Structures are given as C-alpha cells and as structure tokens.
C-alpha cells in the first residue's frame, strides 16, 4: 500500500480548473504527478510543477506509455465535457468522451497495474434533490445528458470494483468557485456560464450586465440556493481520497460541499463587499433546470475521508475577485 502512495498520480484534465488546483495540492503533499490533457479546454500554463502529456483519454497506447514511463500507481480522472446546455444539444460528444472515453482510460490504466481511481463526479447526478442537505443516499436522478454521463461512469466504476481489483472514489462536487490563494492559477472565465465568473465579468469588464435568473423562488430572498465550495477545498478532497484508497479504502461515492447554502444575491452581496461596488445586474426569467435549493450534507466526507471544507463564501469571492482582476491587468 505504501508503494501505491509513493507512486506517481496520473491526472487527466489536469490543465483544467479543478484539475490544475488538484495538481498543485498533490505536489504540495509531496506526490509526483503527470498531467494528461488534450488541451481542448485546458490551458498549458495552468499546469504548475508537473510534466504534461498532451493526448486523448481514448488513446490506449499513449495512456499506457504514460503510465509505464512515469511509474503511475493512482489515477485522478477530471477530463470530461461539462456544459449542461451543450450536453442536451450534442449528446453524442458526451457519450463518446465522458462515458466511452472513461472506459478506455480505465482499461488502459488497469492493464498498466493502476487500480485506484478518484473520479470527478457531480451533485448533478441527484438532479433536483427532494431533501436538503443532500446525502450520498439521495436518489440518482440526472436531469441532463451531462449529469447522466457522470452517473453512468459512477456505475461503471462500481462494476469494475465488482469484477476487478479496481477501487474508486467518486467525488460529487457541488459548486466549485474561487482561485488559488497565491493568485498563481484560477478559473478561465472565457466559456464559463457559472455565476461567480459571470458576476466578476459584469463587474470588471463593464460591457455587460449579469442576468439573475429568477427572484421568485420559495427561498428567503427569492433566488436559488447553492453550496459554493472553494476550489482549494475541492483539491484537498482529491488528495485525501487517494490516501483513503492507498490505505485500503473501498469503492464509495462522496458528496463534496461545505454544507452551507448561499443564494445568488448572497454571492452578489459578497462580491460587492470584496470589490467595493455593486455588480451590475438585471432580473431575468428563471433558467430551465435550475433546482430551487441544493447543498451538501458533508458528514460522510468527513467520516470517510477525514475531509472538511475550510473556506467560506467570503474567501471564495475574495480569491475569485483578486484572480480575475489580476488577469484583467495581464490581458491589458
Ligand atoms: C448557480 C446559480 C443560476 C449564472 C454548477 C455546474 C454543474 C455542477 C453543479 C459540477 C443558479 C444562477 C447563474 C447567471 C444566474 N457542477 N445564475 N445568472 O447551475 O448550480 O451548476 O454546479 O459538475 O456542472 O454548472 O451553477 O453557476 O450555473 O448557477 O442567476 O448568469 O446562479 O440560476 O441559481 P449550477 P451556476
């Protein structure tokens, strides 16, 4: 088991947002890392202090060669498409890359002797939760092709656990946000449709106004509630999940959230505090598919992985604001 934890970690999608923060957390924990990324969505400059192999997760030969050359013993698998709306317009991309690609990757890793996998899953596998906070026993009811692709890979990993010596941890992320505290890496807002980067854009670029999708929900301030979790806390959950597997842990799915629900207007209030000015926004109609409220019950994560979020919404917004402001200056 010690040998497993001494070996190199293969991080697919390590040039992406959560992936790049996880690479840094693994390096800080003393783990050797090799990043495997197609760079279709990831950015090479986001990879700090680790080699990168540019390739597709369906390329069996390249994955196998990478595992053998770098002495890989564990896998963290981020590489996936994650645009909910796009997944409903072009589902085949999601079945071929997110699902079939994951199978090809797992097969190549297993053949190379890698049998510990930490998988990037999502709270969206539960769809609109009937009960909050959301526990790991909540019904699996995906409401998009994207969410279904995550639920399917979770089940595929379960069956690999039944038919081989592969063991896995599927981490169900809630709303990832924020940037590294040293300002070195952060979220690329170019294609993001998520609230925090779009609020920062409206604040810093001044050429647009944020749309708040609905203020008539049955919540204290009428806007939807989510569990915003700092990307550094998410990264730490991956380090702990690898340690859990390396010391004999069985296959599980774990919710990774703070357990605290924040509304859209809470996020905008925090952003105004951080920036010293209001985010320009207009009220717009509800967005289809938005659950009214979802936030995690973090008890199982703490019990199983010994992990608990350390940062609150203020820390998330402060780090996001500092990052996007710094990028603005760099872009000028
Ligand atoms: C948050 C809230 C919007 C944009 C995300 C990821 C998804 C999954 C779960 C990982 C909602 C509101 C947003 C805007 C707004 N994570 N909003 N105006 O939909 O909760 O899902 O976390 O797999 O992949 O996307 O995140 O940031 O889009 O929305 O009012 O311009 O902000 O209605 O209430 P969401 P989000």
Q: Per-residue pLDDT tens for 237-250?
A: 999 999 999 999 99
Probe ligand 1: pick from 194, 210, 223, 292, max atoms within 8 Å of CB?
Answer: 194
157 domain-assigned:
yes
291 domain-assigned:
no
44 domain-assigned:
yes
- Does residue 289 have a pLDDT over 90? no
Ligand 1 in reach of 305 Cβ (< 6 A): no
Q: What is the pLDDT of residues 99-125, one digit of tens each?
A: 999 999 999 999 999 999 999 999 999
Distance CA 276, CA 13 (A): 35
Distance CA 266, CA 316 (A): 12
Given this model, what pLDDT does residue 191 score?
A: 83
277 domain-assigned:
no
Ligand 1 in reach of 317 Cβ (< 6 A): no
222's torsion region: left (phi>0), alpha (psi -120 to 50) or beta? left
The radius of gyration of the chain's CA atoms, rounded to the nearest angstrom, is 19
Confirm if 280 and 210 have CB atoms less than 8 A apart: yes
Q: Are strands 167-173 and 116-122 parallel, antiparallel or unpaired?
A: parallel
Index of the ligand 1 atom closest to the CA of residue 225? 34
Confirm if 16 and 41 have CB atoms less than 8 A apart: yes
Pick the closest to residue 221 from 263, 179, 189, 181 (CA basis). 263
Task: Output the residue whose Cα is nearest ligand 1's atom 13.
Answer: 195
Given this model, what pLDDT does residue 332 score?
A: 44
CATH code for position 116: 3.40.50.720
**pLDDT classification of 130: cutoffs 50, 70, 90:** very high
318 domain-assigned:
no
15 domain-assigned:
yes
261 domain-assigned:
no
194 CA to centre of ligand 1 in angstroms:
5
Given this model, what pLDDT does residue 7 score?
A: 96
Given this model, what pLDDT does residue 1 score?
A: 57
Ligand 1 in reach of 126 Cβ (< 6 A): no
The average pLDDT across 255-265 equals 98
Pick the closest to residue 189 from 181, 199, 180 (CA basis). 199
Given this model, what pLDDT does residue 331 score?
A: 54
Proportion of the chain above pLDDT 70, given as a percent? 98
Instruction: Give the pTM.
Output: 0.96
Active-site option among 17, 81, 94, 146: 146
Ligand 1 in reach of 83 Cβ (< 6 A): no
Count: domains in the chain: 1
84 domain-assigned:
yes
- Does residue 71 have a pLDDT over 70? yes
Q: Give the domain range for residue 90.
A: 3-177+229-256
Does residue 146 have an active-site annotation? yes
């Amino acid at each position: 088991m010690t040998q497993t934890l001494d070996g190199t970690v293969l991080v697919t999608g390590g040039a992406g947002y959560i992936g790049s923060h996880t690479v840094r957390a693994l390096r800080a924990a003393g783990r050797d890392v090799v990043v495997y990324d197609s760079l279709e969505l990831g950015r090479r400059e986001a990879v700090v202090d680790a080699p990168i192999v540019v390739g597709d997760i369906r390329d069996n030969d390249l994955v196998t060669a990478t595992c053998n050359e770098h002495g890989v013993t564990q896998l963290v698998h981020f590489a996936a498409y994650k645009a909910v709306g796009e997944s409903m317009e072009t589902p085949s991309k999601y079945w071929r890359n997110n699902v079939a690609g994951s199978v090809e990757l797992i097969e190549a890793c297993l053949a190379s002797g890698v049998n510990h996998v930490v998988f990037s899953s999502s709270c969206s596998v539960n769809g609109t939760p009937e009960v909050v906070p959301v526990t790991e026993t909540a019904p699996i009811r995906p409401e998009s092709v994207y969410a279904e692709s995550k639920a399917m890979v979770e089940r595929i990993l379960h069956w690999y656990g039944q038919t081989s010596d592969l063991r896995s941890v599927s981490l169900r992320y809630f709303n990832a946000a924020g940037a590294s505290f040293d300002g070195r890496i952060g979220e690329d807002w170019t294609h993001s449709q998520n609230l925090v980067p779009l609020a920062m854009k409206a604040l810093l670029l001044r050429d647009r106004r944020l749309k708040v999708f609905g203020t008539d929900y049955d919540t204290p301030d009428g806007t939807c509630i989510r569990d915003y979790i700092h990307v550094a806390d998410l990264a730490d959950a991956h380090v702990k999940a690898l340690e859990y597997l390396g010391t004999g842990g069985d296959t599980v799915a774990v919710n990774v959230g703070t357990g605290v629900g924040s509304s859209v207007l809470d996020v905008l209030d925090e952003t105004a505090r951080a920036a010293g000015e209001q985010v320009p926004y207009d009220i717009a109609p509800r967005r289809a598919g938005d659950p009214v409220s979802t936030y995690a019950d973090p008890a199982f994560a703490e019990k199983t992985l010994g992990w608990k979020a350390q940062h609150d919404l203020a820390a998330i917004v402060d780090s996001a604001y500092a990052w996007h402001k710094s990028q603005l200056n760099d872009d000028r």
